[in-house]
Amino acid sequence: MFQFHDRDLLGKRRTFLKFGTSTIAGLGLAPFIGKVAASDDSLTNGRSVIFLFLHGGPSQFETFDPKMQAPEGIRSATGEIATCLPGITFGSSFPKLAKLADKFTIVRSFSTGDGNHDIKPIVGRDTFGANLGSIHARFAGTNHPVTGLPVNVLLQPQAVDPTTQAGVTAFGRFTATGPLNPSYSPFDPAGAGGDLKQLTRNVPRERLDSRLAISREFDAIKSALDHLPGDSTMRDQAFGLLAGGLEDAFDITREPPHLVDRYDTAPLVRPESIRKKWNNHKNYADNAKSLGKLLLLARRLCERGAGFVTVTTNFVWDMHADVNNATMTEGMSYMGGPLDHALSALVEDIDARGLSDKILVVACGEMGRTPRINASGGRDHWGGLAPLFLYGGGIRPGQVIGRSNKDGSYAADTPVGNKELIATILERTTHIERVRQVSGLPNEISQIMTSWKPIPGLV
């Protein structure tokens, strides 16, 4: 029997890895990979989050609340499409998601609070200046206790395609930690300059010491694995996981080619098809090149121990129809198809792997768009309503929560804001009662855990 210990955030001794031959013999590979090595007194419950930040502010009309009964100039400029839910329609850019609408939840009464360009709700006033993943890491720890994988990860286009532009920082830092220690900052593989070996250097000393102790026992564990009956591939992968496999975790070429193709959004919008009159034409191209592969990488990381993965494709949803940004109809032709394709691939993939309870997917931007289309064919900034997509994480699927008013400008009922969204994410991923007993939390974080309420009706 091999046992290794650390201390949880309450200071209690816990076993984070324990193996004997009987334990190894009873392991199936998939549940072992998917399970976070957390004991009964862990502050987190083993769920992961993929937060897709739709930077620029997508329209509520052309996504999930088309308002086709409203006058022209207010209703969706791209029309609507029926979903598999009776009486519910989406914008016509989303045929694949429409067929899967019984698997996720849309909130039509969500507001981010203002129409400013920033990076809320992932980093903002309601997260006290910290990436929401950094708050999660404060409870979960900075690294997975077995694989060493960073718990908190930031994925931008260069993480999967070096030909894309660097991440946008003009509207806020996705790596911010606010009142928390900088060690809780998201790991950015693109910011690492491709040097994934630095992942090991980022493992805290106590984790590194434990991993060195594990390595001294690997020969014995490997021997036990070698003598197990059954598939040798399973044995090899199980041992590879124990050995770390950090660089492997970030390598989507190790996924089956057909699955990479299913996620890939690059063929949907070729750079040469995007009109160069828009100053942000490179942003549209980068989104198509990277979005699907970023979500595939996010799923791969969550399956291997990442707890919170922020995904963003830079600044692409600001459809004013000005010198920088396309009109609503043209902009959605660049953006709608890739989002529909990538999100539907993620939902189907997570479902097929039996991980829908273990991974929570959130998609929203920093705001919505104005009810009335402007004279140039775009929509301007609007803080009154914004689209919100939620899947997995143990929430009840097939729902549309809340209603917007007649012109889609404000919530008609069940108003939901950033605080409710943040509380939902933390409630789905932590043991709230245990977290409330933790001493030494910044007052701001304690406030979230004690007084904010999750979105009603989700579970």
Radius of gyration from C-alpha coordinates of the chain = 22
362 beta partners: 51, 390
pLDDT higher than threshold 80 for residue 299: yes
* Per-residue pLDDT tens digits for 78-105: 999 999 999 999 999 999 999 999 999 9
DSSP 8-class letter at 24: H
What total of structural domains would you count in the chain?
1
Give the residue carrying structure tokens 């990436």.
Answer: 131
Asked if residue 140 belongs to a domain, the reply is yes
Beta bridge partners of 15: 5
Q: Which has the higher per-residue pLDDT, 98 or 436?
A: 98
Report for 212-226, 373-387, 441-455: range of highest mean pLDDT: 373-387
Q: Which DSSP helix (H) or strand (E) runs through 170?
A: none
Which residues are within 8 A (CB) of 358 and not within 5 positions of it... i.e. 6 or more apart? 34, 46, 47, 48, 302, 392, 393
CATH code of residue 339: 3.40.720
pLDDT score, position 41: 66
Has residue 217 been placed in a domain? no
Mean pLDDT of all residues belonging to the chain: 86
In a domain, residue 323? The reply is yes
User: What is the pTM (predicted TM-score) of this model?
Assistant: 0.84
In the chain the first and final C-alpha atoms are separated, in Å, by 40
Residue 377: inside a domain: yes
d(CA 323, CA 278): 6
* 76 token code pair: 């969706």
Residues counted in the chain: 459
* Average pLDDT value for residue range 27-31: 36
For residue 439, pLDDT over 90 is answered with: no
φ/ψ bin of 305: left (φ > 0), alpha (ψ from -120 to 50), beta (otherwise): left
Could you tell me if residue 365 is inside a domain? yes
Q: Which residues pair with 373 in a beta bridge?
A: none
Q: Which domain holds residue 328?
A: 46-202+254-451
Residue 298 placed within a domain = yes
Task: Characterise 5 by phi-psi region: left (phi > 0), alpha (psi -120 to 50), beta (else).
Answer: beta
Q: Decide if 247 is inside a domain.
A: no
**436 within some domain:** yes
SS3 track for 286-351: HHHHHHHHHHHHHHHHHHCCCCEEEEECCCCCCCCCCCCCCCHHHHHHHHHHHHHHHHHHHHHHHH
